[in-house]
Amino acid sequence: MGISKAEQIILKGISGSPGICIGKAYIVDREGVNITKRYPVSDALVPNEIDRFKQAVLKAKNDHAKVIDSLDKDLGENLNILETHMVLFKDKMLYGKTIETISKDKINAEWALRKVSRKVKIMFQKIDDVYLQARVNDIVQVSDKIMSYLVGAQDIKISDINKRVIIVAHDLSPADASQIQLERVKGFVTDRGGKDSHTSIIAKALRIPSVLGLGIATINIKSDDFLIVDGSSGTLIINPDEDTLFKYEERMVKFEEYRAGLERDSHLPAVTKDGISLNLMANIELVEEVVAAKDYGAIGIGLFRTEFLYLDLKRFPTEDELLCKYKELVEFMSPQSVTIRTLDINGDKVNPYLTSIEEANPSLGLRAVRFCLENEDIFITQLKAIFRAAAFGNIKLLIPMISCVEEIIQVKQVMNKAILELEYEDKIFNKDIPLGVMIEVPSAVMIAENLAEHVDFFSIGTNDLIQYSMAIDRSNRMVAHLYQALNPAVLKMIKMTYDAAEKKCIDLVMCGEMAGDPMNIPVLVGLGLTNFSMNSASVPIVKRLIRNLDTKKAKNNVEKIMKLNCVQEIFDFILEEYKDILPFGEVDE
């Protein structure tokens, strides 16, 4: 396999899907959708311009439908992603507002679509939720598809690729990614995108290495350049030298052996070398994800994020609609438990169907439990659906972003109202379900013992806990390097929460992203934690590490770790102490 003599270039991006692939670049140009200019449209021609836009939407939608029809129905969750894009073609924010803009501003359809899509993009980017910020890509991709028909741009034909290559693109939509033929495409890299994007989700389902968010990949790469894609570390190497190539060829073989071993062992229990059983559960956003959770060996759902149904519907769902989804989930998982987190949303996130006051800092505003207590009717509807679903399976109720005892007392009062309504309506339900609160703000850590007197369990949400305690905006690249789970302050807050739960004899679960990173597991086990919930794909990796972990050693090491002063010291200590059991590809070499 020949290698270009060009100078080696290394780019760092975001891991879209783990694994390593080596091969030649195949450039896919998605930047061909250019808007030449804005021009006025006379009153008489406005209907024609609106019709031109509608025809472009229809063609784009029909094209998208053909892609869906051509795909293997076993894609499951990924077909749901494509169906979400199908809905966006006629979404009120995009479709309705573009028509309204053409009529009101009397401008060409291309400029109206560009104006509306940018406005929607800015709105989503202001939302303090990584998953929802990633939905910006969905809006952009659907808008680009419509735009390509408006301007007559040539569309990508991923399915036409007839050689073994690595795709290089400014962006790939989920529809593009779904057309990838595994026997032809080794992996892909993009300028746009992130780890929570739908394109990343499909890449993981296809199990091909990908690196996203590179920014300048398409500028630096030419067709047939030789590439190494390390999806595990988010690294792209352009025209590698001989030594680098040899190193990565060895790593690629080892990674495939490692992944095959994980699949063989995924059914084995999470029991340490000294016989301590740990519980590994899955975090999910969609009911359809439960199949993957079971396949990966999760023993329950430790966090079901309920807000995505609200956002997909673009309206508040009814009690029966919620019941249908929750019932399906708990029946499938029965007798294993499902922890349902109540709505973690704010006015900005439901902007299309809720009039709200603009907040300068939504992450510190009316969100999560604050939003629910302010909008009691919405909260009661969800609680009633949860109590009704609890008659069909093992449900735990989790309240997000509790910051004071007063809030949990108010929540219990609203729960009692929901129960009274169900009794009056003579509906079948189960009110005797465990109640928990998320520990994700520093004040909750400080009063954990007081909170424990009112609930049955704690769930530590490290994503927000790190953000709030370190005063870091996770989406701000300027300070992202400070967002460290192994920061001594974060570890001390986890220990304080654990000690409070132990003292008050209530259960403790960790459901933040910290729980799914193998580097953190020896520390968390050493601190005493035994219940974890994580991304489904992380379960087999963490299980394998646990089976090689000695809890006595972990506890002794934690005493030393808690005396260290900075993240790098802690990281280096873990790397040295557990180098023989840390999983391949999870730690940058």
Is 449's pLDDT higher than 90? yes
Active-site position among 64, 85, 198, 372? 198
Distance from CA of residue 88 to its chain's centroid? 19
pLDDT score, position 529: 97
Sheet of strand 20-28: strand arrangement: 9-12, 235-238, 226-230, 20-28, 165-169, 185-190, 210-212, 14-17
Average pLDDT, the chain: 83
State the pLDDT at residue 487: 95
In which band, very low, low, confident or very high, does the pLDDT at 320 lie, cut at 50, 70 and 90? very high
Averaged pLDDT for residues 138-162: 68
Q: Which of 54-58, 157-161, 240-244 has the lowest mean pLDDT?
A: 157-161
- Cβ neighbors of 309 (< 8 A, separation 6 or more) are 317, 321, 322, 325
- List, in sequence order, every residue forming a beta bridge with 439; answer none if it has no partner: 460
The span from the CA of 58 to the CA of 462, in Å, is: 44
Q: Residue 429 — pLDDT band, cuts 50, 70, 90?
A: very high
Grouping H, G, I as helix, E, B as strand and the rest as coil, residue 441 is coil
Q: Average pLDDT in the 447-471 region?
A: 94
Q: DSSP class of residue 208? A: -
Range 9-30+156-261 has CATH code 3.50.30.10:
yes
The pLDDT-based confidence of 34 (bands split at 50, 70, 90) is: very low
Lowest mean pLDDT among 212-221, 264-273, 325-334, 359-368: 359-368
Q: Tell whether the model's pLDDT for residue 351 goes beyond 90.
A: no
pLDDT given for residue 492 in this prediction: 97
pLDDT mean over 463-485: 78
**Bridging pattern class, strands 301-305 and 279-284:** parallel
Residue 382's pLDDT band (cuts 50, 70, 90): very high
For residues 159 and 307, which has the higher predicted lDDT (pLDDT)?
Answer: 307
Annotation marks residue 511 as catalytic? yes
Q: In this model, does residue 111 exceed pLDDT 80?
A: yes
Residue 352's pLDDT band (boundaries 50, 70, 90)?
A: very low
Task: Pick the closest to residue 543 from 202, 282, 266 (CA basis).
Answer: 266
Residue 578 has pLDDT above 90, yes or no: yes
- The pTM of the full predicted model, rounded to 2 decimals, is 0.68
What is residue 177's predicted lDDT score, i.e. its pLDDT?
63
Task: Using the Cα atoms of residue 492, residue 486, residue 518 and residue 560 in order, give the sign of their dihedral.
Answer: negative
CATH topology for the 270-577 domain = TIM Barrel (3.20.20)
Q: How far is the C-alpha of 459 from the C-alpha of 436, rounded, in Å?
A: 7
Residue 454 known to be catalytic: no
Region 362-376 average pLDDT: 87
Kindly report, residue by residue over 540-555, the tens digit of the pLDDT. Answer: 989 999 999 999 999 9
pLDDT of residue 74: 47
Amino acid (1-letter code) at residue 169: A
Q: How confident is the model at residue 56 (pLDDT cuts 50, 70, 90)?
A: confident
If 0-12 CB within 10 Å is exposed, 13-18 middle and 19+ buried, where does residue 504 land? middle
52 pLDDT more than 80: yes
Q: What is the pLDDT of residues 289-307, one digit of tens each?
A: 788 888 889 999 999 989 8
pLDDT band at 410 (very low <50, low <70, confident <90, very high): very high
Instruction: Give the model's pLDDT for residue 522.
Output: 97
pLDDT of 383 > 90? The answer is yes
Q: Distance (Å, rounded) from C-alpha 373 to C-alpha 366?
A: 10
**What is the pLDDT confidence band of residue 32, given thresholds at 50, 70 and 90?**
very low
pLDDT digits (tens, 9 = 90+) for 484-542: 899 999 999 999 999 999 999 999 999 988 998 889 999 999 999 999 999 888 899 89
72-92, pLDDT tens digit by residue? 554 444 545 555 555 555 556
- Determine the topology of domain 43-151 in CATH: Enzyme I; Chain A, domain 2 (1.10.274)
Range with the poorest average pLDDT among 251-265, 318-332, 516-530: 251-265
Please answer whether residues 94 and 135 qualify as being in contact, where contact means their C-beta atoms are separated by less than 8 angstroms.
no
**Candidate list 21, 85, 372, 511, residue with the active-site label:** 511
Confidence of residue 588 (pLDDT cuts 50, 70, 90): very low
Q: What is the mean pLDDT of residues 461-487?
A: 81
What's the whole-number mean pLDDT along residues 440-444?
Answer: 96
Portion of the chain with pLDDT greater than 90, in percent? 42
For the chain, the domains span 9-30+156-261, 43-151, 270-577
